[in-house]
Amino acid sequence: MSRLPTATCFALSMAPIVLMVLGGLPLALPAQTQPYPSKPIRIIAPFAPGAGTDTLARTLAGPLSKALGQNVLVENRPGAGTVVGTEAAARAPGDGHTLLIVANSFTINPAVRTKLPYDAQKDFTGFARIASTPMILAAHPSLPAKTIKELIALARARPGELTYATSGAGTGHHLAGELFKSRAKIDLIHVPYPGGAPATIAAIGGHASVLLVNILSVASYVPSGRLRPLAVTSPERSELLKDVPTVAESGFPGFDTSIWFGSVAHAATPRDAVNRLSTEILRALQLAEVRDVINKVGLNAAGLSASEFDAFLRAELRNNEKIARDVKLRLD
């Protein structure tokens, strides 16, 4: 009986192994090629219902759900100056199914708090900036100051007597106030309130000398004279109050502190998921119904792509760390 060639014998002996390997491939492929998203998406809003971040999250949830083919659910996780909600997002799986709406506090907390249960730079990646709005310095009409220069002169004449109200400690308004104090070389006492509305009411009632909040909080009280606008903090004047100068125009060139909103995800999120989310959010910002809601709450659509927003966040982290260090601002 003739013998098979050695190569043929080897091939026959390997055949069962090859079949076993090939037979296992169909079972492995679905897990590797599973389309994104594969389940409902959760957006964590680290503020109470009704806040700016909550409004943005709920406004975007509908268009995103339609574009992604999955339910998009908003979960409010307020507390500890956004730390509670941010920690929840940091502990979530990095699969792109948990997003976090962020604002200035995301890049301020690492600069003013020594012990955070997450690392804003290492644990997250930015994928879209959504909106922004200028802040405004306003005063109670009884205050004998109609301009920034007059406010500075009054503060220097009465050191430690004047107060300024904001939406809370560690917010963008608080940091902007401390930066203004430092640049102007004056002493104003910070009085934090649980939100822009309570701070505005306090200023209208004369319980604070000066108010520093989002411009929409003040705009409706200017025509009646219940609040006197002094300056906006953005580089350009606001369309809401075109006659109000900027802080930069009032003697502080380069002064630029605006409130911004965006979204981040776990740093382990696959790049294709990050790019998809970024694309769909920027596309949603072009919808008339989305822009209408954003404008009604006093914001301006200000989209940035994933790479642009991630770079923006890292620049903000560095900048806020320097500001907090220069003005000696710590919250713990």
Domain boundaries, the chain: 41-133+258-326, 134-232
Over pLDDT 90: what percentage of the chain? 73
Q: 23-33, pLDDT tens digit by residue? A: 444 444 444 45
pLDDT value at position 33? 56
How would you class 35 by CB atoms within 10 Å of its CB: exposed for 0-12, middle for 13-18, buried for 19 or more? Answer: exposed
Q: What CATH class does 134-232 carry? A: alpha beta
Q: Read off the tokens for 281.
A: 């959010």
pLDDT value at position 35? 87
Whether the Cβ atoms of residue 262 and residue 299 lie closer than 8 Å to each other: no
Q: 99-136, pLDDT tens digit by residue? A: 999 999 999 999 999 899 999 999 999 999 999 999 99
Q: Which residue type is seen at 245?
A: P
pLDDT value at position 46? 92
For residue 287, give every residue at least 6 positions away whose Cβ sits within 8 Å of its Cβ, in sequence order, or none.
63
Q: Is the pLDDT of residue 185 over 50?
A: yes
Average pLDDT, the chain: 89
pLDDT confidence bin for 10, thresholds 50/70/90: very low
Q: 267-303, pLDDT tens digit by residue? A: 999 999 999 999 999 999 999 999 999 988 888 899 9
Q: In Å, how far are 4, 57, 120 from 1, measured between CA atoms?
A: 10, 79, 75
Decide whether 41-133+258-326 matches 134-232 in CATH topology: yes
Q: Longest C-alpha distance within the chain, in Å?
A: 116
Q: Is the pLDDT of residue 52 over 90?
A: no
pLDDT confidence bin for 49, thresholds 50/70/90: confident
Architecture, CATH, for domain 41-133+258-326: 3-Layer(aba) Sandwich (3.40)
